[in-house]
Amino acid sequence: MAVDNTYLLAGTCQLSVNGTSYLVAGDFGYSPAKVKRETLTGKDGVHGYKEEPVPGYIKAKLRDSGGLTVAQLNQMTNVTVTLQLANGKNIVGRNMWTVEFPEVDSVEGTIDVKWESPSVEEA
């Protein structure tokens, strides 16, 4: 009997970097945002807003498997990161680099990783 995933919206994903798949232990996310806005106010009211560019990002808690090293993660630059989500969305980040030094949680065997780039798109 076929499984009906019509209403599946969240909970799972597949992640790859330059075509290599990694085990996602949990807590994954992304943002394709290009700008950050902040409201500017004065003593006489709201004046408007300012806008600054921000990088998009993809982040995930990866499982520390045998073929993965923290050094490899830390050295990643100019990589393509792809997320395939349970709801059917595909998230692609191009020319990405890792930020926030990855650290291993040895109790759970996990590593929090975040990639940033000016080019993160969802389809």
CA distance 119 to 92: 8
Give the integer Cα–Cα distance in Å for 111 and 93: 19
pLDDT at 8 exceeding the cut of 90: no
User: Looking at per-residue confidence, does 4 or 102 come out higher?
Assistant: 102
Query: Count of CB atoms within 10 A of residue 13's CB?
Result: 19
Whether residue 67 has pLDDT greater than 90: no
Helices (H) and strands (E) in the chain, counts: 1, 11
pLDDT(27) > 60: yes
CA distances to 31, 79, 98 from 92, rounded to whole Å, are 11, 10, 15
- The residue ranges of every structural domain in the chain are 13-122
- 100-123 pLDDT, tens digit per residue, is 888 899 899 999 999 999 999 998
| Per-residue pLDDT at 13 exceeds 90 | no
Q: What is the mean pLDDT of residues 14-27?
A: 93
Match domain 13-122 to its CATH number in 3.30.2450, 3.40.50, 2.40.30, 2.70.98: 2.40.30
